[in-house]
Amino acid sequence: MSTLQTIASLIYLISAVCYVLGVHMMRSPKTARKGNGLSAIGMFMAVIMIIIEVVADGKITATGWIVLIAGLAVGIAYGVVKARKVPMTDVPQLVSLFNAVGGGAAAVIGIFDYLMKGDGVALSLAFSIPVFLDVIIGGITFSGSLIATGKLSGKVPGKPITFPGAKILNIIVVLGMLVAAWFMIATPTNIWFVILGLAMALIFGLLMTLPIGGADMPVVVSLLNAFTGLAVAFAGFVINNQVLIIAGALVGAAGTILTLQMAEAMNRSVANILAGGFGTGDSDSGSAGPDVPVDVKETSADDIGLQLAYAQNVMIVPGYGLAAAQAQHEVAELATVLTEKGINVNYAIHPVAGRMPGHMNVLLADVNVPYDQMKQLDDANPMFESTDVSLVIGANDVTNPLARESGNEISGMPILDVDKSKSVVVIKRSMSTGYAGIQNPLFSLDNTQMFFSDAKVGLQDIVAATKQYLDD
Amino acid sequence: MSEELFTNLAIFVLSLLVGFEVMSKIPATLQTPMMSGANAIHGVVVVGAFVIAAEANSWVFYILAFFGAVFAAINVAGGYTVTDRMLGMFDRKPKAKSEGDDSK
């Protein structure tokens, strides 16, 4: 090892330590931002070190520099602008997009090194196996994550997309991948082999993601994120760089755990989600079962305003509908109006409220809702007993008392005990079912009133009405 | 098995274990930022983009190196920026600090 190599190895080791500690710190809200900062410092050190190595090595051509700098400039400009400008509601699809290009970069590295070997060269298994895995996994995450981005942003229909012959096509693609594996791993290099492998991976990514419903996408994005970590680790084997191996494996493992936790919070198994065909997350079919009690009480913005104005404790229960209608500003305004008059306002946030676990907290924090007003499930549930008005906005399944009974789709899912509060007001566009596709008996309880409206418009009316009563 | 491969494999396996260990139960609030933060970390693939650009010597390889650089740079720069933005929101807690500090 030359002196420079020794220094480089040490710097990469330190940067790897930064990633591990960074992830560790991100487990707590207090240290999360510092953790991400620490991980960024580690990244910065690794980049500086590779620049020094490339310069010292001196093999890079002038065109190589131009290509590299131009590529980095384009990528950084695009990434930073997107990341700064994106509205908080659209963060999930942006993360998925960043994940797609990460997988793409890993695949490109594998393809590059494979082709660099020249045509008709016999490969050692120590090289050919990681190259194959890098290209395949990178390709799957690239196309899969792009579809996930499209589904989350509505550019690709959120409903599960299936077509006749999909099963057969799946089998063909898997066989194609095995053929590619054989040619890439066990036979001398040939450009067509790597093209075949990449093509199969890209098609597999599409086929894997298309049949999955929009509401399951967060789990899929998280899973593909873990995949990208593995692809990057294999790219590390290919170029023999240990910081890629460490960071990639770290993300692969941590991403897997995160995926399992997300699926658990949604009361679904990962296998079940990947099988696809379940729910869209924005169902408006309203194909209600016949056993539905539809005798609900409707109410008006004016009446809700009156109830809120004379309440002591108000609990706001935000859900997917709130995020979809982008009504977080209106909610925050209502809460401000109420708290100014000394009414206690809290938010009961179900782990899977919004488009992703924890997404609702981000949306509310964005509109300056104080962190201590956001109550997580376990803290919120004991508070419903003493709540005068629970305002359920665009949430459905997470409040469904059926979850306490057995024998239905959501049995056993932890729910918010909204029905224990003195009065429940549900703001919803229609009587349609939620993501799980089952009716919610909460809506027909004696203490429940329904207000059929778009969350944003409805809340504006409620704010106006509440102000009027509070000012009297 | 070469010594180099064995070292890399050992590092890979141990890093996986560290990843499993460091990621025990995290609050739902932080799951989205955590996913985004992990996403930024695999932006380390940008180091690989440098490595291949340094070896490129014909147009096919320059094109691949260019795409590698663009993709990796988006991942790493965008990933850290958006994660920091999300987490920054938890930082500014206006709490009941009387008036006049909601300047942002």
Contact A99 B89 (CB under 8 A): no
ipTM for this prediction? 0.89
**Same structural domain for residues A123 and A73?**
no
At residue B92, the pLDDT reads: 57
**Same structural domain for residues A274 and A307?**
no
Contact B33 A27 (CB under 8 A): no
At residue A316, the pLDDT reads: 95
Among candidate residues A82, A111, A130, the one where a domain is terminated: A82
The residues, any chain, with a CB within 8 Å of residue A135's CB and separated by 6 or more, are A107, A110, A111, A114, A184, A194, A197, A198, A201
State the Cα angle at A102 between A213 and A50, rounded to 5°: 165
Interface test with B, best of A38, A80, A95 (most B CBs within 10 A): A95
**Same structural domain for residues A306 and A262?**
no
Q: For residue A34, is pLDDT > 60?
A: yes
Condensed to tens digits (0 to 9), the pLDDT of residues A227-274 reads 999 999 999 999 999 999 999 999 999 999 999 988 887 777 888 888
**Same structural domain for residues A68 and A125?**
no
**Same structural domain for residues A330 and A438?**
yes
At residue B95, the pLDDT reads: 42
Give A436's pLDDT tier (boundaries 50, 70, 90). Answer: low
State the Cα angle at A67 between A63 and A70, rounded to 5°: 135
Cα separation of A243 and A376, whole Å?
Answer: 37
**Same structural domain for residues A328 and A219?**
no
Condensed to tens digits (0 to 9), the pLDDT of residues A92-147 reads 899 999 999 999 999 999 999 999 999 889 999 999 999 999 999 999 999 999 99
- Per the annotation, the verdict on A119 as an active-site residue is no
Cα separation values, A444 from A293, A381, A427, Å: 7, 21, 14
Condensed to tens digits (0 to 9), the pLDDT of residues B72-102 reads 999 999 999 999 998 987 765 544 333 333 4
Catalytic option among A134, A216, A397, A417: A397
* Top mean-pLDDT range of A213-217, A275-279, B5-9: B5-9
Among candidate residues A38, A54, A82, the one where a domain is terminated: A82
- The tokens for B89 are 């929101």
* Residue A365 belongs to domain spanning: 301-471
Condensed to tens digits (0 to 9), the pLDDT of residues A165-191 reads 888 898 999 999 999 999 999 999 999
Q: Provide the number of structural domains found in chain A.
A: 3
Give A408's pLDDT tier (boundaries 50, 70, 90). Answer: confident
| Facing A253 at nearest CB: one of B23, B61, B67 | B23
At residue A287, the pLDDT reads: 41
- CA atoms within a 13 Å half-sphere pointing along the CA-CB vector of A207: 18
- Residue A28, in any domain of the structure: yes
Cα separation of A45 and A47, whole Å?
Answer: 5
Contact B82 A59 (CB under 8 A): no
**Same structural domain for residues A160 and A18?**
no
Taking CB atoms and an 8 Å cutoff, what residues of chain A touch B12?
A: 233, 237, 245, 249
Taking CB atoms and an 8 Å cutoff, what residues of chain A touch B1?
A: 126
Distance from CA of A57 to the nearest CA of B (A): 9
**Same structural domain for residues A115 and A256?**
yes
Cα separation of A277 and A213, whole Å?
Answer: 6
**Same structural domain for residues A372 and A447?**
yes
The pair phi, psi for residue A375, each rounded to 5°, is -100, 130
Share of chain B above pLDDT 90, in %: 64
- The tokens for A403 are 């979850």
- Residue A293, in any domain of the structure: no
Cα separation of A339 and A330, whole Å?
Answer: 14
At residue A295, the pLDDT reads: 77
At residue A435, the pLDDT reads: 65
Answer for the pair A233, A249: CB distance below 8 angstroms, yes or no: yes
Average pLDDT over residues A338-348: 93
Condensed to tens digits (0 to 9), the pLDDT of residues A375-392 reads 888 899 999 999 999 999
- Residue A195, in any domain of the structure: yes
For position A461, which CATH number holds? 3.40.50.1220
**Same structural domain for residues A196 and A174?**
yes
Condensed to tens digits (0 to 9), the pLDDT of residues A67-93 reads 999 999 999 999 999 999 998 888 889
- The tokens for A309 are 């104005």
| Facing B41 at nearest CB: one of A111, A247, A257 | A247
Across A22-34, b (16+ Cβ under 10 Å) vs e yields bbbbbbebebbbb
Answer for the pair A430, A270: CB distance below 8 angstroms, yes or no: no
- Residue A433, in any domain of the structure: yes
- Residue A289, in any domain of the structure: no
Average pLDDT of chain A is 89
- Residue A245, in any domain of the structure: yes
A111: nearest CA partner in chain B: B64
Condensed to tens digits (0 to 9), the pLDDT of residues A296-330 reads 888 999 999 999 999 999 999 998 788 878 888 99
Strand order in the sheet with A374-376: A374-376, A344-349, A313-318, A389-393, A423-428, A448-452
Give B37's pLDDT tier (boundaries 50, 70, 90). Answer: very high
B85: nearest CA partner in chain A: A84
Taking CB atoms and an 8 Å cutoff, what residues of chain B touch A92?
A: 32
Q: For residue A340, is pLDDT > 60?
A: yes
At residue B55, the pLDDT reads: 95
Q: For residue A280, is pLDDT > 50?
A: no
Q: Of A16 and A276, which is predicted with more confidence?
A: A16
- Residue A296, in any domain of the structure: no
Backbone Cα Rg of chain B: 20
The pair phi, psi for residue A212, each rounded to 5°, is -95, 135
- CA torsion, ordered A250, A253, A254, A258, to nearest 10 deg: 160
Q: For residue A288, is pLDDT > 80?
A: no
- The tokens for A109 are 């590295």
At residue B73, the pLDDT reads: 98
At residue A410, the pLDDT reads: 74
At residue A277, the pLDDT reads: 58
**Same structural domain for residues A95 and A69?**
no
Among candidate residues A23, A49, A82, the one where a domain is terminated: A82
Read off the DSSP letter of residue B58: S
Q: For residue B38, is pLDDT > 80?
A: yes
- Residue A430, in any domain of the structure: yes
Share of chain A above pLDDT 70, in %: 95
**Same structural domain for residues A133 and A247?**
yes
